[in-house]
Amino acid sequence: MSQSLYIIKIGGNVIDNPEACSAFLNDFAKINAPKILVHGGGKIATQIAASLQIETQMVEGRRITDKPMLDVVTMVYGGLVNKNLVVQLQAAGCNAIGLTGADGGIIRSVKRPVKTIDYGFVGDIEEVNGTQINALLTSRLIPVIAPLTYSSEGLLLNTNADNMASGTAVAMSQFFKTKLIYCFEKKGVLSDPDDDNAVISSLTPPTYADYKSTGVINKGMIPKLDSSFAALEAGVSTVTICHAADLLQAVEGLAGTIITL
């Protein structure tokens, strides 16, 4: 249980920027430990959908995934984005294997029930098969996971990449000292939204409670932080939120906001 495993989530904004993405992948390839990359989608799905005359419907900032849009995200996230990440990692000497949750049955979900809004083919994670993922790692493969899962009825489902990363981190905690790193476009959780350098270096439940009660932390960060603490409660060793360009420093514990219990 002493070996570390890094689960690294990269957002769509880096995927959308070829130079930033290439630099990030080269850094990812350098991490000398078992590791898993979970990626978001990026804007290209919306662009391809528009070119195919498929309307993107958003409700409260969230994409509605009807059947034509499911086909688009399956093509773009599971095909175009995932395979281009894999081939770039292979060229960087990293034995990447691109997966959706359906592949090897690694992440099973349930189609979100319709309450007030019908999100369509969207999945809420039910089970991460850590044993199967561990078998891949044991074969010296580096999983690169696209934001799609599957249901036992045979549906592909569009799924939140943050949730896939934290669910995977929790499941892998039975085998590894698991470190979850969310890479995004800021240097960490900021104490002042207008100052990109005002990074809160560490958060624990009491300091988080303080920051929340005084309104210091941007509301948009609350779901990610709540889910980070839940992942820690469920066995994950540390969670770090950092800039994609600072990945290698974050792996050393020298960048971003480090979240612990």
Residue list, annotated binding site for substrate: 41-42, 63, 158
Task: List binding-site positions.
Answer: 41-42, 63, 158
CB of 71 to a copy of itself, least distance (A): 6
Contact flag: residue 79 with a copy of itself (CB under 8 A): yes
Contact flag: residue 141 with a copy of itself (CB under 8 A): yes
**Distance separating alpha carbons of residues 150 and 160, to the nearest angstrom:** 13
Tell me which residue of 201, 216, 203 sits closest to 246, measured CA to CA. 201
- Binding segment for a copy of itself (CB under 8 A), chosen from 7-15, 109-117, 145-153, 204-212, is 145-153
CB of 170 to a copy of itself, least distance (A): 21
CB of 105 to a copy of itself, least distance (A): 6
Nearer to a copy of itself by Cβ, of 81 and 190: the residue is 81
Contact flag: residue 248 with a copy of itself (CB under 8 A): no
Q: Strand runs (DSSP E) across the chain, as ranges?
A: 4-10, 35-39, 57-59, 62-64, 96-99, 107-111, 123-128, 142-145, 148-150, 156-158, 177-184, 202-203, 238-243, 257-259
Contact flag: residue 67 with a copy of itself (CB under 8 A): no
Contact flag: residue 190 with a copy of itself (CB under 8 A): no
Q: How far is CA 78 from the centre of its chain?
A: 14
Q: Among 10, 156, 199, 247, which residue interacts with a copy of itself (rule: CB under 8 A)? A: 156
How far, in Å, are 56, 66, 252 from residue 10 at the CA level? 23, 25, 18
CB of 230 to a copy of itself, least distance (A): 28
Contact flag: residue 76 with a copy of itself (CB under 8 A): yes
CB of 106 to a copy of itself, least distance (A): 9
Query: Is the separation of the CB atoms in 40 and 164 below 8 Å?
Result: no
Q: Among 2, 32, 51, 213, which residue interacts with a copy of itself (rule: CB under 8 A)? A: 51
Tell me which residue of 240, 229, 29, 235 sits closest to 128, measured CA to CA. 235
Q: What's at 117, amino acid-wise?
A: I
Buried b (16+ CB within 10 A) or exposed e, 44-69: bbbeebeeeebeeeeeeeebbbbeeb
**Distance separating alpha carbons of residues 227 and 87, to the nearest angstrom:** 31
**Distance separating alpha carbons of residues 50 and 28, to the nearest angstrom:** 32
Instruction: Report 80-139 residues binding a copy of itself (CB under 8 A).
Output: 80, 82-84, 86-88, 90-92, 95-100, 102-105, 132, 135-136, 139
Residues in contact with a copy of itself by the rule CB under 8 A: 48, 51-53, 71, 74-80, 82-84, 86-88, 90-92, 95-100, 102-105, 132, 135-136, 139, 141, 148, 150, 152-156
